[in-house]
Structure 1
Amino acid sequence: MRVERLSRDKIRFFLSLDDLMERGIEKEDMWRDIPKVHELFNDMMEQAYQELGFEIAGPVAVEVFALPAQGMVVVVTRGRTPHPSDFDELDDDDMYELEISLEESDQVVFCMNDFEDLVQAAIRLKPMLPEGSRVYAYRDRYYLVLDTDYELRTLQAAIAVLAEFGEASTTTEHILQEYGRTIWEKDAVKQITQYFAP
């Protein structure tokens, strides 16, 4: 489980499939009000406090993005910070209120900080994924988008390669098309290696 701060009141967790399996949680369980999901959320909040000093009390919005073959991203946004006197009226079960939304993507989107990372990833991906990929530039970063109609083993191998050069992103292709710049709209891996591989 990895956590990072996005803003003063927002953090993001990346939960791998292994993180979920260790706790006996399926993706569908994230919707359910069951003890092991509460336990996972408490562990996440403990880690956020330990690593980032991020504390929650009161309303919390939780967005869960299920990523194909790689786990999920959980974005936690803190609402109003209660006044200390509010705690007198709360018992332990009311320390925070959760509002959960779940989205599932049918694409794999990875973000790379620089063009060289994109080139190196493409070189390693070419034998696996010769076609069916797109690249966008958005907010000074590069986004490689793969459809998930490959067989699962191929997709998992591609994700493992991509994780070496970038990070899974919850930015949708629609946002990239609308606000980013299209660099390659088809067969990006093939084109990158054709022009930039030694």
Structure 2
Amino acid sequence: MKIERLSQDKIRIFLTFEDLSERGIQKEDMWKEIPKVHELFSEMMDQAYSELGFDATGTLAVEVFSLPAQGMVVIVTRSKGYHAEDDLDDDDDLYEVEVTLDQSEWVIFAFKDFEDVIGAAKKVVNHLPESNGGSLYAYKNHYFLQFDPKAFEEGPLKTIIAMLSEFGDSSAVTPAVLSEYGKTVMTEHAIQTLCEHF
């Protein structure tokens, strides 16, 4: 479980499928009101407080995104205008949660340096359909390869994800963030272009 602060009132939590299975939770369970999911949420909020000082009292908006073959991203936003002192008279430290669920169709991997991107490209080039060579972005001192998994069959996609994992890490960054804040290096056929030139 990785937690990062996005702003004063917003955090992002990345859960791998291993994190879920260790707690006996299936991906589909995140959409259900069951005690295991409540326990996981409480654990996430405790960890967010201990690591980042993020106080999860008050009204929270929770967005859950499923990433194919990578895990889940949970974005927690505390309502604006909340102040810890508002709760001093309240013995009740329960929080109110509004949950939004979504599923990302994109496979995105982050690489620390360009050599890792080239290594990954050479490893997967023969397993990609011609129509899906991926896009390459630079963002926050990392390189990001982004693929649309709709062009893959289930088996080859798992193989490609396993190969990419040798060189980089699956990322919780969304395509919208990459296109808006990242620098576009190659918009399409990134894998084939990398292999032709390097």
> What TM-score bracket applies, with the shorter chain setting the length?
0.7 to 0.9
Deviation for aligned residue 1:48: 1.7
| Identity, % of aligned positions | 48
Deviation for aligned residue 1:189: 1.1
TM-score normalised by structure 1 residue count: 0.80
TM-score normalised by structure 2 residue count: 0.80
Any conservation in 2 of the 1:130–1:187 contact (CA below 8 Å)?
no
Judged with a 3 Å threshold, the aligned counterparts in structure 2 of structure 1 residues 157 and 48 are, in CA distance, closer, same or farther, namely farther
Whole-angstrom distance in 2 between the partners of 1:75 and 1:15: 11
Whole-angstrom distance in 2 between the partners of 1:69 and 1:194: 28
Aligned residue in 2 for 1:154: 156
Structure 2 residue identity aligned to 1:158: I
SS in 1 for 2:89: helix
Aligned residue in 2 for 1:112: 111
In terms of mean alpha carbon deviation, does 187-196 or 23-32 score higher? 23-32
Aligned residue in 2 for 1:184: 186
Any conservation in 2 of the 1:136–1:183 contact (CA below 8 Å)?
yes
Aligned residue in 1 for 2:123: 124
Which structure 2 residues correspond to residues 1-198 of structure 1 after superposition, within 5 A? Answer: 1-79=1-79, 80-92=81-93, 95-129=94-128, 131=130, 132-137=132-137, 139=139, 141-148=142-149, 149-163=151-165, 164-172=167-175, 176=178, 182-196=184-198
Q: Alignment RMSD, CA only?
A: 2.7
Whole-angstrom distance in 1 between the partners of 2:127 and 2:170: 19
What is the aligned length? 193
Structure 2 residue identity aligned to 1:4: E
Deviation for aligned residue 1:104: 0.7
Task: List runs of 5+ in structure 1 lacking aligned partners.
Answer: none
